Amino acid sequence: MGNLVRRGKRVLLGPVAALVALGVLAGCSAAADTGGSGSDSDAGAAVKAADAQLAVARKGRMTQPPSAPNPAVKGKNVWIIQSSAAAPSVSIPALAAQEAGKALGWKTTLYDAKGDPGNYTKGLSDAIANGANGIVLVAIDCTYVKNQLQQAKSRGIAVSEVYAFDCADTNPGSPRLFSADLSFGKRWKSLLDAWQQWGSDTAAWIISATKGRARPLVLHNEQIAVLISYQKGFEERMAQCKTCKTVNIPWDATTSGTPAALAALMKNASLQHPEINSSMFGSTVTSGYNQAILSLGAKAKQMKVIAGLGLPDEFNLIKAGRGLNATTAWPQQWIGYAAMDSINSILAGRPRRDEGIGWQIIDNSNPDQMPKGKTIWQGNDDFRSVYRKSWGVS
């Protein structure tokens, strides 16, 4: 699962868990049902509103990579510290960041923490000791490495992130320590706001897919930072549907678990709540979640399921109709380039700029958006050339 970061009585687990092995869980308590009932006209209105939102989400919440000149600052030393190279959602953007660094003409060091928080701090300490000008944290929250980030800030080291929250995000009132954090421009103020919109789009998909009669199974967690924001957006959007009712199944990530434990949790929820007709999950799906859905047997075929980050295995599941109907695809490689572009801006003394990053809901209604075979979904086929031209290195 990964290690937990404690904050008072709440335990926050960073994206390393959410993106590496979030499908592995155990421990649960009684389900909490939220929602109401309504008329057929209410259901129709809910679907109409959801479809209007999906028209944007299916087109994509991305804009374009920034094309204005941002000349490469020469001779820099940048470290890319990834939580675990074993997770594709971590290694893909990390490798893309390294590729971008080479295009910029920088010395790059790719450090694999191998899922060990002790290595997170070691990686940053090594980067600082070796004169890093910039650091990219991939799926490592600020909370894990606060002391090292304070040192980096005092030395003027630019810090950017991929799937990571700043200390001010998870601990309101704390200083911001990511000096080169990714910008969404005027679209969202922070990664937290983007995550909530992501959850809202997921809810809209379920409302539409169930014709306004959604009864989604939600594995509700109050420990994992990425899911807290995602679930907030989901639940607020679902509450707008008068004919929908959410089935929240609390679970505790502090308890060690296996895919088998997750399957047992879902089976028990399905037996107690036969009205369940859908489900969502804001992370990778093949570490346990998809297997658990499939373990429901005939019930799985009746459910509308949206989950994932747009990794190759997710598209294969959608095409095969195996327990997944849609994914919220994030452009993994584009994000890596964006993190390096943000560092370049800060090192050059220029303001950060909207990197155009977002997500796209992809299902069998827009199959032309799915990549072929095991290729990685790009989000924008030209992002590399746009960035390189902007840097003056194309």
pLDDT tens digits for range 86-135:
999 999 999 999 999 999 999 999 999 999 999 999 999 999 999 999 99
Tokens of 238: 């679902």
Q: Is residue 3 pLDDT above 50, yes or no?
A: no
Short-list 80, 88, 122, 117, CA closest to 1:
117
Tokens of 126: 């090594």
- Among all chains, which residue has been given the structure tokens 């590399």? 384
Among 28-42, 136-150, 299-313, the range scoring the smallest mean pLDDT is 28-42
Rounded Cα distance between 173 and 222, Å, is 20
Q: Is residue 254 pLDDT above 70, yes or no?
A: no
Q: Do domains 5-61+191-329 and 77-187+331-358 have the same CATH topology?
A: yes
Indicate the pTM of the whole model. 0.90
Tokens of 329: 């695809």
Q: What CATH architecture is 77-187+331-358?
A: 3-Layer(aba) Sandwich (3.40)
Kindly report the number of other CB atoms within 10 A of residue 30's CB atom: 8
On the CB side of 201, how many CA atoms lie within 13 Å of its CA?
A: 25
Instruction: Please give the helix or strand (H or E) that residue 135 lies within, else none.
Output: strand 134-138
Among 216-220, 259-263, 338-342, 373-377, the range scoring the smallest mean pLDDT is 259-263
pLDDT for 33 equals 53
pLDDT for 190 equals 87
Residues of the chain above pLDDT 90, percent: 77
Pairing of strands 360-363, 326-329: antiparallel
Rounded Cα distance between 314 and 299, Å, is 20
Please provide the average confidence, as pLDDT, over all residues in the chain. 88
Edge-to-edge, what's the strand order for the sheet holding 304-307? 32-35, 245-250, 216-220, 278-281, 304-307, 326-329, 360-363
137-161: b (≥16 Cβ within 10 Å) or e: bbbbbbbbbbebbeebbeeebbbbb
- The residue ranking higher by pLDDT, 14 or 245, is 245
pLDDT for 373 equals 79
pLDDT tens column, 346-371: 999 999 999 999 999 999 999 999 99
pLDDT for 22 equals 38
Q: Tell me which amino acid residue 132 is.
A: A
Structural domain spans, the chain: 5-61+191-329, 77-187+331-358
- Best mean pLDDT range from 4-8, 14-18, 255-259: 255-259
Kindly report the number of other CB atoms within 10 A of residue 67's CB atom: 13
pLDDT tens column, 290-348: 998 999 999 999 999 999 999 999 999 999 999 999 999 999 999 999 999 999 999 99
Q: Is residue 4 pLDDT above 50, yes or no?
A: no
On the CB side of 149, how many CA atoms lie within 13 Å of its CA?
A: 26
Backbone angles phi, psi at 190, to 5 degrees: -155, 175
Q: Is residue 67 pLDDT above 90, yes or no?
A: yes
pLDDT for 29 equals 38
- Fold classification of 5-61+191-329 is Rossmann fold (3.40.50)
pLDDT tens column, 152-176: 999 999 999 999 999 998 888 999 9
Q: Is residue 225 pLDDT above 80, yes or no?
A: no
- The residue ranking higher by pLDDT, 149 or 372, is 149
